[in-house]
Amino acid sequence: MIAAQLLAYYFTELKDDQVKKIDKYLYSMRFSDETLLDITQRFRRELAKGLGRDTNATAALKMLPTFVRSIPDGSEKGDFIALDLGGSNFRILRVKVSHEKKQTVQMESQIYDTPEDIIHGSGTRLFDHVAECLGDFMEKQNIKDKKLPVGFTFSFPCQQTKLDESFLITWTKRFKANGVEGMDVVKLLNKAIKKRGDYEADIMAVVNDTVGTMMTCGFDDQRCEVGIIIGTGTNACYMEELRHIDLVEGDEGRMCVNTEWGAFGDDGRLEDIRTEFDREIDRGSLNPGKQLFEKMVSGMYMGELVRLILVKMAREGQLFEGRITPELLTKDTIETKHISAIEKSKEGLNKAREILIKLGVEPTNEDCIAVQHVCAIVSFRSANLIAATLAGILMRLKENKGVARLRTTVGIDGSLYKMHPQYSRRLHKTVRRLVPDCDVRFLLSESGSGKGAAMVTAVAYRLAEQSKHIVQTLSEFRLTKEQLLEVKNRMRIEMQNGLSASTQDSATVKMLPTFVQSTPDGTEHGDFLALDLGGTNFRVLLVKIRSGKRRTVEMHNKIYAIPLEVMQGTGEELFDHIVHCISDFLDYMGMKNTRLPLGFTFSFPCRQTSLDAGILVTWTKGFKATDCEGEDVVGLLREAIKRREEFDLDVVAVVNDTVGTMMTCAYEEPTCEIGLIAGTGSNACYMEEMRNVEMIEGDEGQMCVNMEWGAFGDNGCLDDIRTEYDRAVDDFSLNPGKQRYEKMCSGMYLGEIVRNILIDMTKRGFLFRGQISETLKTRSIFETKFLSQIESDRLALLQVRSILQHLGLDSTCDDSIIVKEVCGAVSHRAAQLCGAGMAAVVDKIRENRGLDHLNITVGVDGTLYKLHPHFSGIMHQTVNELAPQCNVNFLLSEDGSGKGAALITAVGCRLRQELNNK
């Protein structure tokens, strides 16, 4: 018993001594975490260099775009063929992805031999061979009559320009078929298939084995966005934001990038960590100076690294008592599989002895322990270096996503990772130490590159089908120039109906006279009061207008709330409350004793009979005060002022906000004769010739007409361009059948149109994995401000996703692209429709005046016009295209409902004065 313990003690001591000796000898192969993090930073700099347009040419990492834009989302289905060409065996698979209760994958495959004479022959012969094998496989599967989608794993360095176009850069792995380098391998294969003529195949995607690995794992875990091969060779790919890939047009979404990381260090970046053994391996390789990182870490070189170290140690008398055998001096006699065997915890030392004896060495126990530790240091260095570069990719993903903690999955394949007893554990441990703020799951790929090619094809097939349906759905929103001209012409007809006495009653576009007969001429002067009533808040303003060389407008205002009980009480209570607020404001300004002219912005439907008389047609916006509808609101205001008996005011004008907008801009720009509101609601007004306003007597001069164009189409004249989504929004609105034009182009409804489209697309399985959330079912949840934010050019898809998440919609990157596309289509149509209406107005003014060419300005207000990133530009462009004989400028209004009301009052006072002077 004691003897056994002594022996064990002696053996442990012996082992520790040997381990320390080797550690000292191979000190340069062991890295601290500090060194590894330094390598990570170097790698990150190289990643960025490879992605940059100007730096890619000199970058060691080529960062090749793969045109794979999406990982599986679980909704793929279909029958696919995968070809896998990357070595002496050529594999063909049939992959069936079905959707019963859960997604399942069935695979059948066959391996075909690729003879040496074909590998080294002509390119034509090689692809004829591939086409012949594919024909044989299809015949055996009894599918020659079907044109199935095909994925092609072609594991050689390629330059891709599309998913289904791949130009071979150079052959590797003993392949030397001539006439293929620089050619598109898809074209060559298609040509070979066509030549046979006995079957058809639709090659949808070319991928390399690393991408195949990521996609295979992505099918099982949708968080997978990195693929790594650690086998004979090594490489990695990951999903990069498209906006960072300078070599590819566009910046929406993501794309898988093949890093070709084996070349890391080819520019000398790793010289300080390369050892004499690494340099010797490189000198004796087929490609000196190339793939330096791969030569330090991959299975192809690991056994040779160990052999070189053992030879040197033996020469120095530190191993095998200084004996060196011819076998030990022969290249590649130690293979990576030997290292895996030697490092096994139980039988490792016995394996070391067996392997060394085969090499003609008679090892002692000390020799076996030393060799085992040399193997451990070489393989540990490999795992550490791979961990450092992988950490660089993970840090980049975390940064791209802007998250505090990254949760992701890495798909891995390769013999070294799979077969080595310690490798995977060491790699995982080091990665977790280097990036503690990343939760990484490592997923082993099964049937990697073949199934992966089928998955890429399945995703491409899904996206192509999806894209076709989405284009079809949104095509209804893409109006042609002919359709827009038709809208313009119909608007002209409806305008005429509203102006003519005989048709005014039945007209949908009411063309209401406002009795505003002049825009400001710059001589307006004085202090004016303005009231602005149009919602739950009520404003009182004092506007001081000064004429002369330096015209100025100075404004003071105060906002008052209107309680719900007043909004829905009696008319007397409402107007008494308004007068109470005016009284408070006059006290505040110290102007109780002055009889000021007053303009009243009253943003509810009114029929005006004079500038200072407006009969309320109907309350909107939640107001329900009794005894007001059918009454003159100016009369109601005057009576309330009388009841108060504190002050007197001269009510000169009642106005709506559209006219106020025109007047505000006309004060700054004399050519402004049109007002437009493009906000929550939509409306326009313009200066019409009095002779055309048949509802008012007199033919001289002009009068501003409030079009109330939101009701355009209420007679069915726009039904041919209304979509099912417009009809759904209208049916569930508070006023079905009314304001149809407004419901297609105003801010209040655009978000609701988008929501209806998103629900339909989700039902059809194109969005949110087919899951309709409670949020999406909630009416009006998708506010128009979200459209403006989502469509902002400065907003990355990541931020679009966070807006959707804020709405309770858990979206993928692809979902975000589709949502952005839907928002764009809806707002683009809105701007075009608004532009078509405006084109009708400017052309009418031009024709009224008998001009070949008209210069005119439109005063505009409204949140949609102001805040949406593209609305104004598209609208301007539409007006220019549909009214080419008009030069139309747009001027943004400031406070049309307040300042505008004061200016209308000032013009009214000026005209009254002029009339009195006559």
Distance of alpha carbon 170 from the chain centroid: 35
Q: Note if 816 is an active site residue.
A: no
DSSP 57: G
- 182 contacts 479 by C-beta, under 8 angstroms: no
Radius of gyration of the chain from its Cα atoms, rounded to whole angstroms: 39
174 is catalytic: no
Q: Is 184 one of the annotated active-site residues of the chain?
A: no
Amino acid at 828: H
Nearest in space to 806 (alpha carbons), one of 786, 826, 822, 778:
786
Query: What are the DSSP calls for 741-758, one per residue?
Result: HHHHHSHHHHHHHHHHHH
Closest CA to 453 of 157, 155, 233: 155
Residues present in the chain in total: 918
Residue among 69, 539, 755, 829 flagged as catalytic: 539
What does the H/E/C string look like for 199-266?
CCCEEEEEECHHHHHHHHHHHHCCCEEEEEEECCCEEEEEEEEHHHCCCCCCCCCEEEEECCHHHCCC
CA 205 to chain centre: 23
Measured N-to-C along each axis, helices 185-196 and 123-140 cross at an angle, to the nearest 10 degrees, of: 60
Residue with tokens 């001081």: 544
727 burial (CB, 10 Å; 0-12 / 13-18 / 19+) is middle
Amino acid symbol at 367 = D
Q: Give the angle 706-712-718 at the CA atoms, nearest 5°.
A: 160
3-state secondary structure of 913: helix
H/E run at residue 94: strand 89-99
CB-based contact 803:810 (threshold 8 Å): no
Give yes or no for a contact between 634 and 614, defined as CB atoms under 8 angstroms apart. yes
Considering the candidates 657, 714, 815, 895, report the single residue annotated as catalytic. 657
- Is residue 477 within 8 A of residue 723, CB to CB? The reply is yes
DSSP sequence for 396-435? HHHHHHT-SSEEEEEEEE-HHHHH-TTHHHHHHHHHHHH-
- Tokens 């107001």 belong to which residue? 623
d(CA 112, CA 129): 10
At 759 the three-state DSSP class reads: helix
d(CA 699, CA 696): 9
- Structural tokens at position 167: 């130009």
* Short-list 737, 683, 670, CA closest to 709: 683
Environment class of residue 627 by beta-carbon count within 10 Å: exposed (0-12), middle (13-18) or buried (19+)? exposed
Could you give the CA distance from residue 179 to residue 125 in angstroms, rounded to a whole number?
A: 10
Contacts of 833 (CB under 8 A, 6+ apart): 479, 484, 487, 741, 744, 745
Catalytic residue chosen out of the listed positions 447, 449, 603, 746: 603
Residues noted as catalytic = 539, 603, 657
